[in-house]
Amino acid sequence: MVTGTARHARGKVLLVAGGAGIRPMRGLFRSLSGAVTLIYLVRTADQMLFADELTALADRPGRRLHILLGSERFSTAGLRLLVPDAAEHDAYVCGPTALVADATAALHGAGVRGDRIQILNL
């Protein structure tokens, strides 16, 4: 697992964000080329940031956006439903400590190698 700032991604990219972690992920979702999937976890709709912009960006070719509302924890099973080929992605995670732990465990469970997971600092 790599931590720090975003490194150059190769091929498919999976972004997992929660809370204030959506801020750096929004920039990556906007700027990365190719197949990019963003999973945005938010407790309530009124806490959601950049909804209109993210939805507009998701209309670009190769983009997918999944907004998960509620307090359920992120799991391997949930990840596999949203991104069946997750193991083929470079993954970036940013958000609260509990989300980072859950997302990292889910990514490993879905077959994403540790060297393809990067934790972005807030």
DSSP 49-72: -SHHHHHHHHTSTTEEEEEEESSP
Question: Angle, nearest 10°, between helix axes 51-58 and 22-31?
Answer: 30
| pLDDT at residue 72, as a whole number | 72
| pLDDT at residue 4, as a whole number | 47
| pLDDT at residue 61, as a whole number | 94
Kindly list the strands in the beta sheet with 2-4, ordered across the sheet, starting from the edge strand earlier in the chain: 2-4, 117-120, 89-94, 12-18, 36-42, 63-69
Residue that has been written with the tokens 């609260």 in this structure: 96
pLDDT in tens, 15-57: 999 989 999 999 999 999 999 999 999 999 889 999 999 999 9
Question: In the chain, what are the domains?
Answer: 2-120 (3.40.50.80)
| pLDDT at residue 122, as a whole number | 80
Residue 119 in contact with residue 93, Cβ under 8 Å?
yes
> Across-strand partners of 61?
none
pLDDT in tens, 53-78: 999 999 999 999 999 998 677 899 99
Q: What are the tokens at 121?
A: 């600092």
Predicted TM-score of the model (pTM)? 0.91
Confidence tier at 10 by pLDDT (50, 70, 90) = low
Which one has a higher pLDDT value, 3 or 60? 60
Q: Which residues contact residue 43 at a Cβ distance below 8 angstroms, ignoring those fewer than 6 apart?
A: 69, 70, 71
| pLDDT at residue 7, as a whole number | 52
